[in-house]
Amino acid sequence: MGDVMSAVGVVLLLVVIVLLVTANIRIVPQAKAYVIERLGAYSETWPVGLHFKIPLIDKVAKKVSLKEQVVDFPPQPVITKDNVTIEIDTVIYYQITDPKLYCYGVEYPMAAIENLTATTLRNIIGELELDESLTSREYINAKMREVLDEATDAWGIKIKRVEVKNIMPPRDIQTAMEKQMRAERERRESILRAEGEKKAAILIAEGNKQAVILEAEANKEAQILSAEAKREAQIREAEGEAQAIMLVQKATADGLRMLVEANPTEPVIAVKGLEAFVKAADGQATKIIVPSNIQGLAGLITSISELAK
């Protein structure tokens, strides 16, 4: 019986040891870090991997995420340099770089960052007027990141980015800004319309001017072409008359040459002269002088005609 009890006790002891060992084995996952305290004091920071904790002595004080995190703070009321109260909504991107400082540096890190953000915003916006605040987001972001990053180094926190999410002026200011914006747009529209009408008028005037110039040039060219055509016609007409005269002269010369080559007798010449006289008499002349030789020939022809009867 005593041996059985001893065996059961050994087994129970082994089970307790196994359970204690199993319960004190820790596996730290990726992008995590465990802050370990030994007897209430900081001991070490466990990185990623397998670790063993001494039972009842070591304790995991805090599990810290090393990923970049985002926190969106509610709108903070701030007063500008020209005494206008506006609300600014900010977003902080941060990363824990030192788990020990994050665990022991400040009691409530996020509350501390929120309060620090509010005071920093008030300081920055207090130096700017409303219009500058609405158009200086990049300046506000850079200034806040610089101040917050410097202040949170002692807390093991790295401020990556600070973004002004929204700037909300009072309702009456928004209404005035909308009216101003609408008036500005209407003014720009009027200017653009006037410039468009001016350009259209200029283009129309330029078009009319160009049309008049082209019409004048066309008329001038038409006159030049007409004068050229008339001159060409006169030249051709003169050339035709000259060619006709040359042909007549050539025909006359050919006729004389043929007549000379034929060696005509005096009676033939007299007959030809009579034919010419007949043609001359056929005109409108009221007085004709008949050569003596043609007169004699005419008498001879008359006598022959009488004898023939």
Q: What is the 3-state secondary structure (H, E, C) of the chain?
A: CHHHHHHHHHHHHHHHHHHHHHHCEEEECCCEEEEEEECCEEEEEECCEEEECCCCCEEEEEEEECCEEEEECCCEEEECCCCCEEEEEEEEEEEECCHHHHHHCCCCHHHHHHHHHHHHHHHHHCCCCHHHHHHCHHHHHHHHHHHHHHHHHHHCEEEEEEEEEEEECCHHHHHHHHHHHHHHHHHHHHHHHHHHHHHHHHHHHHHHHHHHHHHHHHHHHHHHHHHHHHHHHHHHHHHHHHHHHHHHHHHHHHHHHHHHHHCCCHHHHHHHHHHHHHHHHCCCCCCCCCCHHHHHHHHHHHHHHHHHC
pTM comes to 0.55
pLDDT in tens, 147-174: 999 999 999 999 999 999 888 888 877 7
Distance of alpha carbon 115 from its chain centroid, rounded? 47
Identify the residue with better confidence: 204 or 291.
Answer: 204
**pLDDT for 96:** 94
Mean pLDDT of the chain: 81
What mean pLDDT comes out for the span 279-307? 52
Question: Which candidate, 106, 116, 102, places its Cα nearest to that of 162?
Answer: 116
pLDDT > 70 in the chain, percent: 82
What pLDDT is attached to residue 185? 84
Q: How deeply is 183 buried, as exposed, middle or buried, from its count of CB atoms within 10 A (0-12, 13-18, 19+)?
A: exposed
By mean pLDDT, which of 3-12, 227-236, 240-249 is the weakest? 3-12
Question: What's the whole-number mean pLDDT along residues 267-287?
Answer: 57
**What's the chain's length in residues?**
309
Considering the four listed CATH numbers 3.40.50.2000, 3.20.20.70, 3.30.479.30, 3.40.50.150, the one that applies to the domain covering 68-169 is 3.30.479.30
Q: What is the pLDDT of residue 304?
A: 44
- Residue ranges, comma separated, of all CATH 3.30.479.30 domains in the chain are 68-169
